[in-house]
Amino acid sequence: AQSVTQLGSHVSVSEGALVLLRCNYSSSVPPYLFWYVQYPNQGLQLLLKYTTGATLVKGINGFEAEFKKSETSFHLTKPSAHMSDAAEYFCAVSNNAGNMLTFGGGTRLMVKP
């Protein structure tokens, strides 16, 4: 069975500071990994995904994530936070068949002026 753990249900940063949202996964097979973002009163939108190949993945809005197999991690980063980045972020892992996407508990990012 696969699972996802997001460390920190709430993260607060100042505008312009580094954003680091942590995600660890467990999977019995090479995983497909995703980060989704949810803005208030909206559904989830894909930020980025890792499938195969380059372990550093770039997404929308300046976010990127690095797949580290040895650490079973897929942490999300952004060099400089913007007020518009305030949202909830979900890490997810897909099984090979693609019919089961397992989400972490989410991390709410708050950006202080």
| Binding residues vs another protein (CB under 8 A) | 4, 6, 9, 32, 34, 36, 41-46, 49, 51, 90, 94-106
CB of 71 vs another protein, minimal distance in Å: 21
CB of 40 vs another protein, minimal distance in Å: 11
Residue number, 18 or 60, with CB nearest to another protein? 60
Within its chain, how far is the Cα of 62 from the centroid? 13
41: alpha, beta or left? (left if phi > 0; alpha if psi -120 to 50): left
Report the SS3 class of residue 33: strand
Give bridge partners of residue 47 from the DSSP assignment. Answer: none
Residue number, 13 or 93, with CB nearest to another protein? 93
Q: Are the beta carbons of 106 and 92 closer than 8 angstroms?
A: no
CB of 56 vs another protein, minimal distance in Å: 17
Of 37, 72, 78, give the one whose Cα is nearest residue 57: 78
Residue number, 59 or 62, with CB nearest to another protein? 59
